[in-house]
Amino acid sequence: MKLLIKGGRVVDPVNGISRAADVLVAEGKISAVDKNIAADGAEVIEAAGRLVVPGFIDMHVHLREPGFEAKETIATGTRAAARGGFSGVACMPNTNPVIDNHALVEFIKSRAAAEGAVNVFPIGAITKGSKGEELAEIGDMKLAGAVAISDDGRPLMNAQVMRLAMEYARMFGLPVISHCEDLNLVADGVMHEGYYSTVYGLKGITRLAEEAMAARDIMLAELTGAWLHVAHISTAGSVELVRMAKKKGIRVTAEATPHHFSLTEEVVGSYDTATKVNPPLRSADDVRAVKEGLRDGTIDVIATDHAPHTVEEKDVEYNYAPFGIVGLETAVGLAFGELVRPGLLSPEELVMKMSVNPARILGLEGKGHLGVGADADITVIDPELKEIVDVNRFASRAKNSPFNGWELTGLPVVTIVGGQIVMQNRQIVV
């Protein structure tokens, strides 16, 4: 089957293209990008006034399968991704069991092939069971298709284990994704520490819980030469640490989430548990620093840390609710609203952070660009389309979004995966 995406503005930074052009897809690959391609029997997608970009890749997603299927499954999570304009997601290994060996990586891949609406790239655990004690079979997981390693959600407190993991992962060229959080400094905190935690009477989490760990891991990356990727960076201090590390030539990349550049700690005052997330929503100064980090290139990637939970788990007092926000279906709208329209990021830079850089960091061949022969993973965005976020219309099984009721402008209207349309006009079509 052939597809012709007609009349859109193609934004493909890898190939230096940012102009009106048609894109022809055949047999799952890009077969031409040019002016006025004849339809010649291809299914035509009208894209006038829209952006046609290499499929977005969310490199930080919790699909919850296996083990927590009440929260999300590979089927529902990948549909949420499709609706959010993502043609691929990398899923974190903190499932039950933890994805820490070859067979489990295979399991994710086979479930994704059977049930998934978009590409799924498994991330393996750093340590067995993510217990932080012994290294998992990282080399074998790489052979099975793991694209990175991480103990996300279970921070690796033992610096020696992290050092060994970095030395070891470096042999395979795998990035080590660090959820930077010193659990002792967190000390039962549930929100950002500062004026608002004092006013709301909630235990605070100091910025230092993240920054101390980011500093440690950056120094370990310098020592070992490994590739450190700092997950969900949330404080001004961490952004500065990454900026300095890059200046020194240390191999470090970083990601930020839409909620960390769109919301401040102040919203926690509603005691709405949809605002409870880890790392916590930070101060206005931190939000500014994260945006500046995105603007100046310190932060390479926008990733959602999509963290689904059931309504029942979240419908409790603030202290007792699990941490996490679902992000797949609001990310593009928030990025347009907070970053692109205010002029912090050009559309080209947005494509770098949501497609090109994630593909590079995870080593995904044929992804992140629209050159002839590349995989036909494509996102079409209507930068003017408005929609009020309604969690009840999410394709995700979960509803824990603090953006419910927000009006977003700039939304994905078509998601194509390997030449197949999986979302069109905001509706899932698989």
Partner 1 sequence: MGLNRKDLLGIKDLSVGEIQLILETAEPMKDIIRRQIKKVPTLRGKAVINLFYEPSTRTRTSFELAGKYMSADTINISTSASSVVKGETLRDTGKTLEVMGADVVIIRHSASGAPHILAKHLSASVINAGDGFHEHPTQALLDMFTIREKKGRLEGLKVAIVGDIMFSRVARSNIWGLTKMGAEVRVIAPATLLPPDIEKLGVKAYTSIEEGLCDVDVVMVLRMQLERQQKGLFPTIREYSRLYGVTAERVRLARPDALVMHPGPMNRGIEIAPDVADGVQAVINEQVTNGVAVRMALLYLLTGGGNPHEAVN
User: Interface with partner 1 by CB under 8 A: which residues?
Assistant: 193-195, 197-202, 204, 270-271, 312, 315-320
Q: 3-state SS of 256-275? A: ECHHHHHCCHHHHHHCCHHH
Write down the least CB distance from residue 145 to partner 1, Å.
39
Q: What is the DSSP letter of 130?
A: G
Which residues have CB under 8 Å from 55's CB, separation 6+? Answer: 86, 87, 88, 355, 367, 375, 377, 378, 379, 415, 416, 417
**From the list partner 1, Zn ion, none, which binds 197 (C-beta under 5 to 8 Å, kind-based)?**
partner 1
**From the list partner 1, Zn ion, none, which binds 179 (C-beta under 5 to 8 Å, kind-based)?**
Zn ion
Write down the least CB distance from residue 200 to partner 1, Å.
6
Residues 147 to 176: which contact Zn ion by CB under 5 A?
152
Q: Count residues binding Zn ion (CB under 5 A).
A: 2
For partner 1, the closer of residues 134 and 315 by Cβ is 315
**From the list Zn ion, partner 1, none, which binds 194 (C-beta under 5 to 8 Å, kind-based)?**
partner 1
If 0-12 CB within 10 Å is exposed, 13-18 middle and 19+ buried, where does residue 113 land?
exposed
For partner 1, the closer of residues 34 and 320 by Cβ is 320
Note whether 231 and 180 are within 8 A (CB).
yes
Which residues have CB under 8 Å from 196's CB, separation 6+? Answer: 265, 266, 268, 269
Find the binder of Zn ion among 111, 154, 179, 353 (CB under 5 A).
179
Write down the least CB distance from residue 29 to Zn ion, Å.
34
Residue 140: active-site member: no
Q: Which long-range contacts (CB under 8 A, 24 or more apart) does 104-112 make?
A: 105/141, 105/144, 105/145, 105/146, 106/144, 106/145, 107/66, 108/65, 108/74, 109/144, 109/145, 111/65, 111/74, 112/74, 112/78
**From the list Zn ion, partner 1, none, which binds 198 (C-beta under 5 to 8 Å, kind-based)?**
partner 1
Q: Annotated catalytic residue: which of 58, 217, 286, 305? A: 305
For Zn ion, the closer of residues 179 and 243 by Cβ is 179
Write down the least CB distance from residue 192 to Zn ion, Å.
16
**From the list partner 1, Zn ion, none, which binds 40 (C-beta under 5 to 8 Å, kind-based)?**
none
Residues labelled catalytic: 305
Q: Where does this chain bind Zn ion (CB under 5 A)?
A: 152, 179
